[in-house]
Structure 1
Amino acid sequence: MEFRDLKAQYEKYKPEIDSAIFNVISNANFIGGKEVNQLEEQLADFVGVNHCITCANGTEAMTLLMMAWDIKGGDAVYVPDFTFFSTGEVVSFRGATPVFVDVDRETFNIDPLKLEKAIIKTIEEGKLTPKVIIPVDLFGLPANFSQIEKIAEKYNLKILEDGAQGFGGNINGKRACSFGDAATTSFFPAKPLGCYGDGGAIFTNDDELAGLLKSLKIHGKGEDKYDNVRIGINSRLDTIQAAILKVKLEAFINHELEGVNRVYRLYNEKLSGLVEVPVIPEGYYSSFAQYTIKLKNKEQRDGLQAHLKEQGIPSMIYYVKPMHRQGAFSYLPFEDKDFEVTNELCDIVLSLPMHPYITDEEIQAVCEAIEGYLK
């Protein structure tokens, strides 16, 4: 059994993927080929924004926005405490200060009430200038943007939606990566829409910002690549990855999104009452980067994971350590009591195999193994 079965996906779309790769190799347009522009247009159309700018990976997508917005030392950027390291890393990389915020226990996403308290605290302390909020669409579920956008407007802050795990989700039909001032996603292979290497993208309706990002991602180029008008970086999505993503995007839209939501419903039906199952708020739609359950305590969680491994069932813990306890952020002051939910989640969460190609028999085997351990 695979945790996320990329092999099954490839076998289903092998002729299309092989042909797409072969065409790029035959044309020898490995950087900036027509497939990149075509993919950007298709992604922008799917998300419902004016611009999609592809780049090398999801981390650099966020870094490019930090550069474009001139985030620097003395600036405060608000980041959920329960997320992958890169969301805070891009802030520190620019010399700014990540301010970690506890999350909502039910959705795993940044808690708007605690977010506003953190902003007020920063203002009252007077040491940093609040600039940006980076909500993360964790495990595929979009963050609470209706509340976050009100807070951002109240304190004149920008919003960068980190949709690395959320691509394909929506809130009342408005798709992930269309919220805030700009959004980013990752095409890491295990993401909801993944390529066969690294890749990322930025989404925005801001024409001026889009133009600046296109310059920054190619060494700060002006009219051409030898006319450099600013300091930038080298962050491009290569043509082979774009060609692969074009094939996979069609599959993603046609059946994979509904496929993972079908798996979610089956898991919930079989596991409700045994463990705490994921809850999708009314009006929300998740792309289920992960299907994450909660156990009673760390001992039960770790015991279940060991039991599943003995049965040949893979599982993962996202995340074993909160952001505020990462060694790289040890210089930041914090009070552990401000992160009660995150601290608990790190001890009790467990993610189960989740992908559109998992069979009903495999789902049944996972659920029977969990029931057998807990009862």
Structure 2
Amino acid sequence: MNSVVNLTIAGRTQVGDISFIDLVAQQRRIRSAIERRLQNVLDHGRYIAGPEIDELEETLAERTGARTVIACASGTAALIIPLLARGVGAGDAVFVPAFTYNATANAILLAGATPVFVDIDPETFNIDASDLQRRIDAVKSEGRLQPTAIIPVDLFGSPADYPAISEIAKAEDLFLLSDGAQSFGAELNGQQVGNLAPATATSFFPGKGLGAYGDAGAIFSQNTLDRERWASIRWHGTDEARKDSVRVGFNGRMDSFQAAVLLEKLSIFDDELAARRRIADEYDRRLEGVGRPQADIKGAVSGQGYYSLCVENRDSVVQKLKQAGVPTAIYYTTPLHLMPAFSDYAPANGLPVTEKVASEIFALPMHAYLTPQQVDYICDAVIEAVQ
């Protein structure tokens, strides 16, 4: 998503091409190295289960502190596999925020379980631990479903409140599966995403902070015993020899080409993450009081997957920014409980905080290749649009 800027804002003219996410600049930086990686795959010919898969899993485990990592086909597969491995299915309630991408709820339903939508915290936009406890109590009181699992989402790269959520999960004996699709590289109290929950799913969709050149994902575990079962499920539920089916599974494999791309992108990830954080800091500084940005909980350092603001006149602001050549995106215009596919699971009284945030939120360009001049221009444009 690019916009050509040739306008005067705050008395200054800035000409350039502002991308919402810039994969072209990134590719220019590492293209020759990626081509060498891909050539290696062509040479050995192991397009599935090549050595790049093992190397990626080991690299991700070492980086995050996870006990084991399983590379898989997508972020959605990374959510489904742990649910299947735990036997989550019919009659089970899985608690999930309604303010997230539909893959989170789809994974629950594809596993055969029932999503129970939870409201979000108005400051962090992540799952509200207090509302989570209320909805667990309500499900237990009703008696129709068995509370079984919680899937908090690290929205826009900011870790959810794992200390509070983990305490609830332990007290209620619930499986805690983190949806870290947007938060690779984030930290909480010195611990990396991938090591904040018993199991963590992430996505390597091309637009993520760490993205492949196609669909890909990974699952991180704090328990090495998960590895055999997860690896089996991603390969149609077969045994280690890949001959006999020992459990229900599906084709959830990552191909070697995507692992090769990810390995090369990991070599520049820290540099890019530092750049995104500098840009987010500048947005925070320049736009203080202009809109309401996402807040991090104490001890959290965001992975800066996206930078979002809430403003009361969101649609007008977005239109003015478009006219000014500043690309934006809205995550998410419709909460999950208001979508047709999930309407049967909508809470009777709605989710007021989720619905209010959804009506006010929009995202600004966020990638490592924004220039200081572009960031300055974007901030000027936002200030003028909100006035």
The two structures have a TM-score, normalised by structure 1, of 0.96
Question: Structure 1 residues 333, 28: closer, same or farther in 2, change over 3 A?
Answer: closer
| Alignment partner, residue 288 of structure 2 | 272
**Which residue is equivalent to 2:73?**
56
> Is the CA contact 1:184–1:201 (under 8 Å) kept in the aligned structure 2?
yes
SS of the residue 2:225 aligns to: helix
1:287 pairs with 2:299: no
1:233-261 deviation per Cα after TM superposition (whole angstroms, max 9, x unaligned): 111111111011001112112x1111111
Q: Deviations over 1:324-359 (max 9, x none)?
A: 11101122252234x111000110001000011111
Instruction: Verify: 1:151 aligned to 2:168, yes or no.
Output: yes
Distance 1:81 1:219 in 2: 30
Measured in 2, the distance between the counterparts of 1:223 and 1:259 equals: 42
Name the residue aligned to 1:359: 371
Which blocks of at least 5 consecutive residues in structure 1 are unaligned? none
Give deviations 1:185-237, integer Å, cap 9, x for gaps.
00000111100000000111222221101111111111312222222111111
Q: Give yes or no for contact 1:81–1:322 (8 Å, CA) kept in 2.
A: yes
The answer to whether the Cα contact below 8 Å between 2:66 and 2:195 also exists between their aligned partners in 1 is yes
Q: Answer 1 or 2: which has greater strand percent.
A: 2
Aligned to 2:337: 324
| Partner Cα distance (2:151, 2:194) in 1 | 12
**Cα distance in 2 for residues equivalent to 1:168 and 1:86:** 21
Runs of 4+ in 1 over 6 A off after TM superposition: none
Indicate conservation of the 8 Å contact 2:318/2:328, yes or no.
yes
Residue equivalent to 2:7:
none
**What percentage of residue pairs aligned between the two structures are identical?**
39
Partners of 2:21 and 2:282 in 1: CA distance: 17
Q: Does 1:23 find its partner at 2:40?
A: yes
Asked whether 1:344 is paired with 2:356, we answer yes
Within 2, Cα distance between the matches of 1:329 and 1:373? 35
- Of the candidates 29, 42, 48, which is equivalent to residue 59 of structure 2? 42
| Secondary structure, aligned partner of 1:59 | helix
Alignment-derived partner of residue 77 in structure 1: 94
Aligned-CA RMSD value: 1.1
Q: How many residues align?
A: 370
Residue-by-residue CA offset, 1:302-338 (whole Å, 9 max, x unaligned): 111111111221100000011111101122252234x
Q: 140-149 vs 198-207, which deviates more? A: 198-207
Aligned partners of 2:159 and 2:296 also within 8 Å:
no
Q: Is the 8 A contact 1:277 1:292 kept in 2?
A: yes
Contact 2:120-2:128 within 8 A present in 1 as well: yes
Q: Which one of the candidate residues 273, 285, 301 is aligned to 2:314?
A: 301
* Alpha-carbon distance in 1 for matches of 2:345, 2:222: 34
Change (3 A) 1:71 1:281: closer
